[in-house]
Amino acid sequence: MPLLVAPDATAGPISRRDLLGLAAGSAALLTLSACGSGGQAPAGATRTVDGASGPVEIPVAPQRVAATDFYTTYALLDVGFTVVATAEATVGGVLPGLQSAYDALPKVGKPQELSYEAIVAQRPDLILGTMVPGLAEDLPERLGAVAPTLLFAAGGAPGTWQERAVRAADAVGRGAEAEALRGRYEQRAREIGERHRDLLGRIRIGLVRGGPPGTALVDLPQSWSGVVLGAIGARLPAVAEGRPGASERMSYEEVGVLDDCDVLLHLADTRGGVDGNTTRMLQAPTFRALRAVRAGNLHPLPNYYVSHYGQGLAVLDELDRILTGTA
């Protein structure tokens, strides 16, 4: 998905076809976005934005933004803004339409193992990202001496990706585009929820992935894809309903609690690949005995680790397809 351009909030919903079309037309956007949001503010104009460690004075129209995580990079590509450098993608893969844009960017290390020298070499006028757990304590201060450094607090649950995506876009002057994109996502979710309302009222849908050998992880309402299921009005298994956090770990012997699920969705990366832990879980006799599995209602969910609106829209399309084929 280079890229999801922020569409008009009053237009129709983005479909999988729309996403591919946007990707095909993104080259021009990428060229334009290399100049950030230029020309809209006097040179040197600044504003103050709250970050994880307090207020930060940042450029009103930053031109060279270095991202200290990969999901900030994706969120900005969604609204037509290309960073000058990014942290490496470490989980879930890159949305296929964004792959070429991501590959072309200089990498500055992993989110928890950033290279100070690599960031400085890009001459950023804004360093933007997340205060991830495990980040070197002195790094934000060192980076702040190079360029304004705005790191948002890591959310209490992965489902906060929506707020973070909008805040990142706003920091580079693309807040209106992000709000329009959020509106499109919410409209699409409402349409899917209405189309499948009767079915969603009768069934439960579980999100599951493999943990360390012998364990499974059932994801909760505020997980990456949990918030997308919530947006269409889906009911999760009883073991997950109303629970805070990302996931509930259980042994293979305990997965029988998922027998109230009519549909099970398991972890897959952006291209449908399944990791070793999840493959082992899928092969466990206790998992294969679950009602949804025996009924043929077990499906991979690409983009399971949703981190930006482009992925959220892709998951909505996949949910629509799965629900359409569910009796």
Please report the pLDDT score of residue 60 as a whole number.
97
Residue 40 pLDDT? 52
Low-confidence ranges of the chain (pLDDT < 50): 1-39
- The alpha carbon of residue 105 and the mean position of all alpha carbons in its chain are separated, in whole angstroms, by 19
Rounded to the nearest angstrom, the gap between the alpha carbon of residue 180 and the centroid of all alpha carbons in its chain is 17
| Separation CA 324–CA 64 (nearest Å) | 44
Per-residue pLDDT, 66: 99
Structure tokens at 10: 């009053």
Which of the 8 DSSP states describes residue 86?
A: B
Catalogue all structural domains in the chain, each as residue range(s) with its CATH number: 16-183 (3.40.50.1980), 196-324 (3.40.50.1980)
The length of the chain is 327
Task: State residue 327's pLDDT score.
Answer: 66
Q: Give me the pLDDT at residue 27, please.
A: 35
Give the model's pLDDT for residue 21.
38
Residue 229 buriedness (CB in 10 A; 0-12 / 13-18 / 19+): buried
From CA 199, how far away is CA 326, in angstroms rounded? Answer: 8
* Three-class secondary structure of residue 179 per DSSP: helix
d(CA 71, CA 120): 20
CA distances (Å), 91 to each of 133, 182, 268, in order?
Answer: 16, 23, 11
pLDDT of residue 8: 29
Model pLDDT for residues 156-207, shown as the tens digit of each residue = 889 999 999 999 999 999 999 999 999 999 999 999 999 999 999 999 999 9
Contact 195, 233 (CB under 8 A): no
Count the Cβ atoms, other than its own, within 10 Å of residue 258: 24
